[in-house]
Amino acid sequence: MKWLIIWGVLQRLDGKVALITGAGTGIGRATARAMAAEGAKVVVAEINAEAGEQTAQIAAQAGGDCIAVATGVTQEDSVRAAIDAACGITGDCTSCTITPEDRPRWTAR
């Protein structure tokens, strides 16, 4: 009989909450999966609700708690709702990642 002994998995983000915008695909999805694998509770903030739900499922399979919130980053109320969802998980919001494609385009005045 063979025994497999795992001494422990490093979970650097255990107990932390991460709000990730643009997490429906690409870098955002990979970030959500990686943070979930490290133990974070992940909030997937994505304008495409279906893609956000898919990412939430992928991240949950990686080992973390994950929810998806339909979020349009150009709409303040939508962003506030995503932040409220993130802070509502544990009462604290530790990390916020905004992917490059979601950064607002500011114009000089």
Give the start-to-end residue ranges of the domains of the chain: 17-101
pLDDT of 2 over the 50 cut: no
% of the chain with per-residue pLDDT over 70: 72
pLDDT tops 70 at residue 10: no
Q: Are strands 41-46 and 66-70 parallel, antiparallel or unpaired?
A: parallel
Give the class (CATH, top level) of 17-101: alpha beta
Q: What pLDDT, in 10s, does the model give residues 53-100?
A: 999 999 999 887 899 999 998 888 898 888 888 887 766 555 555 555
Query: Would you state the pLDDT for residue 57?
Result: 96
Residue 73 contacts residue 102 (beta carbons within 8 Å): yes
The whole-angstrom separation of Cα 33 and Cα 60 is: 8
The pTM assigned to this predicted structure is: 0.73
pLDDT at res. 105: 46
Question: In this structure, what token pair is assigned to residue 65?
Answer: 């708690």
Across 30-58, b (16+ Cβ under 10 Å) vs e yields ebbbbbbbbbbbbbbbbbeeebbbbbbeb
